[in-house]
Amino acid sequence: MAERIVNVPERESGNQEALDRVSRERGTDLKNEREQSAERAEGANLEQARTDIEKAVEVKKPKAEKEVAPAEKRRDTPAKRRADRKASYKKTMKETQAHMKPAERTFSKVIHNPVVEKTSEAVGGTVARPNAILAGSLSAFLLTLGIYLFAKHYGYPLSGFETIAAFILGWVVGILFDYLRVMITGKRG
């Protein structure tokens, strides 16, 4: 429904005057707005330049070294280092186990259980010493061979306990050797 505007001369002159007046007012308003925005921009640029200069001056000034308070020095305590190491260990174990197959992951979780690890370390440091195991296995081999040859020659039957007894005897000799070596030299390695 389009309406047609009819050019009526009397309407045109009244409208033209009103349009001229509104146009002049709007032009004045726009001119004032431009002047105000230019003034604001100059002020903002001035402030920006001022902050840039202050930052540059701060960068050029040598910073005084901060003195570390004794309380800050104590923050790195053995307990904190131990906790950090434990957290790092757990993170590494999780990352490593994530790359394993399910069966390997389960086995890893079992053997890296803190109770199993502590027990293994205790046994490895006392009962399962390398010298004791070596001495036990060598004595088991040599004594069992000797007993077997002796029994075969004279016709005695063997019970099967000979190997176990020979290993235990060699193990005791190996433990005594380790103990005496540590007592004499003072070195555990």
Domain boundaries, the chain: 88-127, 129-189
CA separation for the pair 67, 49 (Å, rounded):
34
pTM across the whole model? 0.46
Using one digit for the tens of pLDDT, what is the confidence trace for 88-144? 999 999 999 999 999 999 999 999 999 999 998 888 888 888 889 999 999 999 999
Q: Give the chain's count of helices (H) and strands (E).
A: 7, 0
Express each pLDDT in 7-19 by its tens digit.
Answer: 555 555 667 787 8
Give yes or no for a contact between 97 and 138, defined as CB atoms under 8 angstroms apart. no
Give the Cα separation of 189 and 187 in Å (integer).
6
Question: How many residues in total does the chain contain?
Answer: 189
- Report the distance separating Cα 82 and Cα 90, nearest Å: 12
